Structure 1
Amino acid sequence: MPEPTGRGPIVVAGGSGFLGVSLATHLAEAGRPVVILSRRPPRPIGPWRHVAWDGRTLGEWRRELDGASGLVNLAGRTVDCVKTPDHRDEILRSRVEATRILGEAVRSVGAPPPVWVQMSTAHIYGDPPCVVCTEDSPFGLGLAPTVGRAWEDEFARAVLPSQRDVVLRTSFVVGRDRGAGGGALARLLFLARLGLGGRVGSGEQGMSWIHEADMNRLFERGLDDPSMQGPYIASSPGPVPQREFMRILRRAAGIPIGLPAFAWMVRIGAPLFLRTDPELALYGRFVVSKRLEDEGFAFRFPRLDEALGDLLGSSGD
């Protein structure tokens, strides 16, 4: 890994959630100053500065970008919700508008960060059955691919010609609960402990995932490696079917039984009891990064049993 460039802070926009707190913790432990831009201060309190922004309007927060050594943009409303028309609109607007205003901000300061690492989504490829997608695969259809395309298109307009641009099309990040929420893994573990951690629908839908340690290493590599530019899939080389993911999760957590759920049960139960979109469970995709493989990136956790064993304190055997 090349040495960090610049002495200014890393600015993490939209950094108050699970992924932002994980990244800020990782960077701070490496001795790097971090500024988090978010509506509310992240929890728990950590070794970073918090500056308020609304993700839509230019304000005094833009001064944090002047002299910063890098910008990471994670801003966007969670997709773990019932997809009402209002929620669909907010999912799209929160991503596009935050990216747009960051573009205005970097143009308003004298020394903008030389690199901008932009979050995107592996959902941009849609839900092709039994197909492994790489960076060269065609985009899919539907809400998530539409949001992903709009997000990346806005980034292409927002980034400065002088900035190195990196896009990370991120899959399901598995990580620890630090008080900012444990991401989607915490939800799956809760269901498994209720005995509901079995096959969902066909169980063949792809679950592409990445350990938070490898996700943070990719962010850091994007910030520091001058050869890294353009879009990358941020996912482990070991995607698995949903039924296999839950089997390994149950084993790592010491849960002996996982009852299956038929598709009709999920379509009724997910919005009523979990207040979420049933399609998040019923559909999926297999994605791997050809670019990271070609560039020799070594995952610390390429296998799901190792990743969940590390996070849940089991051996994974």
Structure 2
Amino acid sequence: MNQTIVLAGGSGFLGKALATFLQQKGYTVVILTRGLAHMNEGIRYVHWDGATLGDWAKEIEGSKAIVNFTGKSVNCLYTKKNREEIIRSRLDSVQVLTEAIRSCEHPPDVCIQAGSLAIFGDTRQVCTEEAPHGSGFSVEVCEKWEEAFFARELPQTRMVLLRIGFALGKNGGALEPLVKLASYHLGGTVGSGDQYISWLHIDDLNHMFLTAIQNEQLSGIFNATGPQPVTNKEFMYTLRKVMNKGWAPKTPTPLVWIGAYLIMRTDPSLALSGRNCIPQKFLDNGFTFLHSNLETALHDLLRS
């Protein structure tokens, strides 16, 4: 049986982490990238443009699974141009991958889409997969994204969408900028501090992807996050504690807005909004977390 897994747009932080993990599990990994085709550490990188069919589609024929990470980063200013590109990059990749799968004589067993918990908006209410959606641009993006993914039936391919939370890993990803702030004694509460962070360790996220690949009973939408979300205030306090940093000044909401626009060149909502999400369907299916406590998870990542 073909044990090849194709990671579309898999050259980012989450994709590379999953690629290494899957290699360790005995899978062959192919990454579809907008960069040049090459081979690196046993992983074959194949060029694609994320929007049109090409020779890359041959990689999908007879593969075990596809995981789609493609999409312009939301860590940017939400100008008209960036908003259009954020939406277009997601919808184009979903549509062209669907076309590639439908053209296969031997389609992959499963297609997994990396989505986002941002669909729930900014809320303190506990959100399972069935919780109501929020409002705003990020929610609109997620709704169009999910609608496109499930728009066309793939009779021989299971379809799984993971709404991914705040994934914590080593040497990059969502955690890196917060570690840098804390290292300069600036890792205080952001804004009100009441906004929730639905975090999970990268090891657990990788195991969620593996579960979705291997468990033939899983299909549909899953919250891919840890079982114990915390507030921003608690998260930053715990991060400082693990890093042996003392008190740090708060960053009031007006300063967050100024810093986001003038220094970070990103939308302030990324820091000031949050959601309190639970991976109910994974828990119902017996998923066991390796890291459910924030302090021990941060110790594993930062002090090991």
- Bin of the TM-score, shorter chain as denominator length: over 0.9
Q: Aligned residue for 1:3?
A: none
Q: Aligned residue for 1:98?
A: 93
Indicate which of 14, 21, 39 corresponds to 1:26: 21
Indicate which of 257, 267, 283 corresponds to 1:293: 283
Structure 1 CA distance for aligned equivalents of residues 169 and 92 of structure 2: 28
Q: Would you say the 8 A contact 1:17–1:42 is kept in 2? A: no
The answer as to 2:255 corresponding to 1:265 is yes
Pairwise CA distance, 1:47: 2.2
Pairwise CA distance, 1:109: 2.1
Where does the alignment leave 5 or more consecutive residues of structure 2 unmatched?
none
The answer as to 2:111 corresponding to 1:108 is no
**Percent identity for Structure 1 against Structure 2:** 43
The answer as to 2:135 corresponding to 1:141 is yes
Structure 2 CA distance for aligned equivalents of residues 122 and 42 of structure 1: 32
Structure 2 CA distance for aligned equivalents of residues 211 and 123 of structure 1: 18
Pairwise CA distance, 1:266: 0.5
Q: Aligned residue for 1:250?
A: 240
Q: Aligned residue for 2:158?
A: 164
Deviations 1:206-238 (A, max 9, x none): 001111000000001101101111110000001
Structure 2 CA distance for aligned equivalents of residues 196 and 56 of structure 1: 41
Q: Would you say the 8 A contact 2:107–2:156 is kept in 1? A: no
Where does the alignment leave 5 or more consecutive residues of structure 1 unmatched?
1-5
Structure 1 CA distance for aligned equivalents of residues 38 and 107 of structure 2: 28
Pairwise CA distance, 1:251: 1.3
The one-letter code sitting in structure 1 at the alignment partner of 2:202 is E
Instruction: Return the TM-score normalized by structure 1.
Output: 0.93
The answer as to 2:113 corresponding to 1:123 is no
The one-letter code sitting in structure 1 at the alignment partner of 2:111 is W
Indicate how the Cα distance of structure 1 residues 233 and 260 shifts in structure 2: closer, same or farther if over 3 A, else same.
same
Deviations 1:83-109 (A, max 9, x none): 111111111111111000101111222
Deviations 1:11-30 (A, max 9, x none): 00010000000000000111
Q: Aligned residue for 2:12?
A: 17
SS at the partner of 1:27?
helix
Indicate how the Cα distance of structure 1 residues 43 and 306 shifts in structure 2: closer, same or farther if over 3 A, else same.
farther
Pairwise CA distance, 1:194: 2.1
Aligned residues: 304
Give 1:65-84 correspondences, 5 Å limit: 65-84=60-79
Give 1:183-202 correspondences, 5 Å limit: 183-202=173-192
Structure 1 CA distance for aligned equivalents of residues 194 and 37 of structure 2: 36
Pairwise CA distance, 1:76: 0.7
Pairwise CA distance, 1:159: 5.0
Q: Would you say the 8 A contact 1:172–1:208 is kept in 2? A: yes
Give 1:202-221 correspondences, 5 Å limit: 202-221=192-211
Q: Aligned residue for 1:63?
A: 58
Task: Report the RMSD for the aligned CA atoms in angstroms.
Answer: 1.5
SS at the partner of 2:177?
helix
Deviations 1:92-137 (A, max 9, x none): 1111110001011112221110111111110001112x21100110
SS at the partner of 2:227?
coil
Deviations 1:215-267 (A, max 9, x none): 00000110110111111000000100001001111111222232110000010
Q: Aligned residue for 1:174?
A: 168
Instruction: Return the TM-score normalized by structure 2.
Output: 0.97
Pairwise CA distance, 1:313: 1.2
Q: Would you say the 8 A contact 1:238–1:302 is kept in 2? A: yes
Indicate how the Cα distance of structure 1 residues 243 and 41 shifts in structure 2: closer, same or farther if over 3 A, else same.
farther
Structure 1 CA distance for aligned equivalents of residues 109 and 38 of structure 2: 29
Q: Aligned residue for 2:219?
A: 229
Pairwise CA distance, 1:293: 1.4
SS at the partner of 2:160?
strand
